[in-house]
Chain A
Amino acid sequence: MSTVLNIADAVVAELNAATLSLPLHAERRYVPNFDLQDMQQLQVSVVPREFHVRGLDRHRNTYEAEIDLAIQKKFQKGDAAEIDPLVSLVEEIADLFRLRRLSSYAGAIWAGTDHQVLYSQEHWDQLNQFTSLLTLTFRVAR
């Protein structure tokens, strides 16, 4: 299997094995499309996003894979009692990978986390839905 898919699957396995403040089931997807009706339950989606190959030395390259994580759930009131646990969960997920190698693909080491969308205002306003996006970057030398 390709490097980027190995990394994405390892992220899914790590998420599903972790003990976090909210129970979740992560899935790898190629295309992040969803039915609004599915959002009553917490949805965590892992989507390979970009892949860069750079020279490392005379014999090896660095493979850098960007993996998007979407954390989504519909809310009722959108108050702190509902949303704070979700924001905390997103940070827990980010921390889960920080400064580590992936357990089931040890060649991949964490290289960075970008949290550009803490929560989507569009989804909040239009759908009463919490949507947060994380981008994890992993590096493999080979």
Chain B
Amino acid sequence: MDVGPMRSVPQVMRDILRDGQRWLADQLTKHAAREVTYRRGDSESTVIATIGKTLAEQEAGEGLVMRMEIRDYLIDTALLRLDGQPTLPERGDLIIETESGKTFSYEVLPVGSQKAWRYSDPFRLKLRIHTRLIATEEV
């Protein structure tokens, strides 16, 4: 393989992996994603999100049992913008889905010892955002 005079072999390998990850991210966005509203305070935007792991969980804490749905969203890092500016998720942000005449509000929150979000790949192309369902309302 001619890698050119200015690029090392490891750099080429990283580019191939990155290109592959980019392709995979694009496929997820094109074929396995839906529009959701991403909201922080008064700011919101529509983004394409792939729904990742969804769990129904019971958490016991302080002798109380809390039932909840935990859902991960995968969003392209480059597509998450608020007020026209690129942004990263923050605890307390809301992701709102509308389906079958209902809106489902998921709050960005940590899960266990993990932070509320992380990059889902080594190239920071997609964000994996942990959320919990906090409200279901009729449209």
- How many residues of chain B have a CB within 8 Å of chain A? 22
Q: How large is the interface on A (under 10, 10 to 19, 20 to 34, 35 or more residues)?
A: 20 to 34
With a cutoff of 8 Å between Cβ atoms, the chain A residues found around residue B59 in the complex are 126-127
Determine the distance from Cα of A101 to Cα of B74 in the docked complex, in whole angstroms: 56
Residue of A nearest to B64 (CB): A32
With a cutoff of 8 Å between Cβ atoms, the chain A residues found around residue B63 in the complex are 32, 68, 133
Within 8 A of B (CB), among A38-95: 39-40, 68, 70, 72, 74, 76-77
The 7 A-B residue pairs whose C-beta atoms are closest, nearest first, are: A33-B65, A36-B68, A122-B61, A120-B62, A32-B64, A35-B67, A117-B62
B: residues with CB less than 8 A from A are: 58-59, 61-68, 91-92, 107, 109-112, 132-136
12 pairs, CB–CB < 8 Å, chain A vs chain B: A32-B63, A35-B66, A35-B67, A35-B68, A37-B134, A40-B134, A72-B64, A117-B62, A126-B111, A127-B132, A129-B66, A133-B63
